């Protein structure tokens, strides 16, 4: 299997996230044609069914849409939607854990803010 995939998460989710990344990074712009399932199969060396599962989720969420006989395109407002979704995930994945750990260690809010500023400057705390 391709080494580009981690083994602790279903591959179709990672495929979906890689396409999402491209949209968030502006590598794939709204209105542009997204790679076809076949291109994705060849690129990732992952079976059709798995790729389709990831792509179908993006279609269901209105990130991509299908044009019959032409292919898949990035929907208007897709980036905004993804950024919104990722912000929510940022809260769940990073902020909540950070606050909980800080409470355990009795790090004050101000200290947290200082640490974040330091990290932003690239200093090692």
Partner 1 sequence: MSYSIEVSDLTVYYKNFKALDQLNFKLSPGKVHGILGRNGAGKTTLLMYLASFHKAKHGTIVIDGEDPFENERIIQGTSFIYEKDNTYHYDKIDKIIKSIHYFRPHFDEAYARDLAKRFKIPMKKSVDQLSRGQSSALQITIGLASRTPLTIFDEAYLGMDAPARELFYKEILLEQERYPRTILFSTHLVSEMEYLFDEVLIIDNGKVLLQETNEQLLEKGHSITGPKENVEAFTKTLKVIHEEMLGRTKSVMVYGHLPEQEQRKAVELGLEIGTLSINNLFIHLTREGEEA
For residue 85, the tally of other CB atoms under 10 A from its CB is 14
Q: What x-and-dash track marks residues 2-41 binding partner 1 by CB under 8 A? A: -----xx--x--------------------------x--x
Category of 62 on φ-ψ map: left (φ > 0), alpha (ψ -120 to 50) or beta: left
Smaller CB distance to partner 1: residue 55 or 78? 55
Q: What x-and-dash track marks residues 41-80 binding partner 1 by CB under 8 A? A: xx-xxxxxxx--x---------------------------
Q: How far apart are the first and last CA of the chain?
A: 38
């Amino acid at each position: 299997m391709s080494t580009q995939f981690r083994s602790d998460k279903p591959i179709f989710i990672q495929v979906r996230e890689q396409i999402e990344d491209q949209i968030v990074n502006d590598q794939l712009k709204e209105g542009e044609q997204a790679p076809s399932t076949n291109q994705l199969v060849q690129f990732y060396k992952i079976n059709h069914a798995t790729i389709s599962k990831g792509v179908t989720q993006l279609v269901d969420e209105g990130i991509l849409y299908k044009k019959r006989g032409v292919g898949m395109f990035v929907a208007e407002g897709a980036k905004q939607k993804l950024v919104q979704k990722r912000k929510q995930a940022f809260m769940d994945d990073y902020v909540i854990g950070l606050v909980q750990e800080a409470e355990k260690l009795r790090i004050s809010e101000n200290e947290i803010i200082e640490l974040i500023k330091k990290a932003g400057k690239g200093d090692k705390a």
